[in-house]
Amino acid sequence: MPAVLEKGEGAGDRRARVAVAGGRAGGLRGEEGQGGTGRVVGGAAALLVHDGESGPWARDQGGTLDLDQDNGQTALREAGLLDDFHRLSRPEGQEMRQLDTTGTILFHHVPGAGELFKPEIDRGTLRRLLLDSLEPGTVRWGRTLRSVEGPAGGPRRLRFADGTVVEADLVIGADGARSAVRRALSEATPEYSGISFLEAWFHNVDNDHPAVAELVGRGSAVLDGCELALALARHDTVGEAVRACEGTMLPRSGKMQRLLDHGAEELVSDELPDFAQEGMAAR
C-alpha cells in the first residue's frame, strides 16, 4: 500500500502538530494535558491520538486502578474531569488486606468516611471518561505505529502499519513496553524480568464465589509468604457485575513452561493455599 502523508488539520494550518502514540489511559491523559479538549490548545496546537486497536472497546481494558491525590487526580483536575472521576470511582476500593498463607489477616485498612486519597476506578471506565471528553475525530483507530523518523529538531514522521505517514512537531509516546517511540530515542529494549503473571476472573463473585468475596472485601487483598504471590482486587463497575481478579507470579522455569503448555489447573493443586483454590477451580 502506498504511503499516505497527513500533514495537518487543513491547508495552511500553522499550528504546532502534536501526535500521541497510544490511546489507553496514559496516552489519552497525555493528550488531555496538552489542552483538555482535544486538538486545539488556545488555537495554538493541533493534536491527534493514534492507536492500533480497531476501536475503544476492541478488548477488555484490564483491572482496576487507583489514582492518588498528588498525581493522577491532579492531572484530572487540570483537565476539568475530577468531579466526574469521583462520581465514577469507588472510594470503598481503598480497603486493603494483607494475609498469610492460612488466610489470617495481618494488616487491614478500611477507608474512613470521605477518604479520597486514592479511590479505585476500572480502567475501562477511566478510558470512557477520557474519550468522552475529547472532540470527535481526535483518536484515529487502527493505526499501529511502526517507526518514528526525522531530525531531532523536527518535524518527525510517524509511519504506521497501514501505510499512513503522519508529520508532527511533537510526538508523545504512550505505546507500551515495546514502544516504537522509545526506539527513536534510545537503544534500550525490554528484558524479561523472570516474573510472569497469571490472571483469572470471578464473575458475580458474591453469589458464585462467596469465599473469594469474603477474602477480598470491598477493595484488594494480598497474600504473602508463599512461592506464588497472590493478589486479588474487586471490580464493581465492569459490566455491572461484581468481579475479582487473581494474579500469580512465577519465575521462568520448567513449571512455568508446563503452565503455558497445559493451563493453570496443573499449578493450582500444588501451589495455591486451599482458600484460593476454590475460586480457580470454579473458573
Percent of the chain predicted with pLDDT > 70: 64
For the chain, the structural domain boundaries read 1-95+114-190, 196-281
The average pLDDT across 218-238 equals 68
User: How far apart are the C-alpha atoms of 184 and 148, rounded to whole Å?
Assistant: 6
How high is the mean pLDDT of the chain? 75
Which comes out higher in pLDDT, residue 168 or 191? Answer: 168
The average pLDDT across 121-125 equals 87
Which of the four pLDDT bands, split at 50, 70 and 90, describes residue 272? very low
Nearest to 26 by CA among 106, 159, 119, 123: 123
Architecture of the domain spanning 1-95+114-190: 3-Layer(bba) Sandwich (3.50)
User: How far apart are the C-alpha atoms of 214 and 120, rounded to whole Å?
Assistant: 19
pLDDT of residue 39: 38
pLDDT of residue 258: 62
Query: 9 and 46 in contact (C-beta within 8 Å)?
Result: yes
pLDDT for 141 beyond 90: yes
Q: Does this model's pTM top 0.75?
A: no
pLDDT, tens digit, 9 for 90 and up, residues 20-32:
998 766 556 555 4
DSSP labels for the chain?
---EEE--SSTT--SEEEEEE--SHHHHHHHHHTTSSSS-STTSEEEEEEESSSSTTSS---SEEE--TTTHHHHHHHTT-HHHHHHHSBGGGG-EEEE-TT--EEEEE-PPTT--SS-EEEHHHHHHHHHHTSPTTSEEES--EEEEES-TTS-EEEEETTSEEEEESEEEE-S-TT-HHHHHH--------S-EEEEEEEETHHHH-HHHHHHHTTSEEEE-SSSS-EEEEEEEEETTEEEEEEEEEE-SSHHHHHHHHH-THHHHHHHS-HHHHHHHHT-
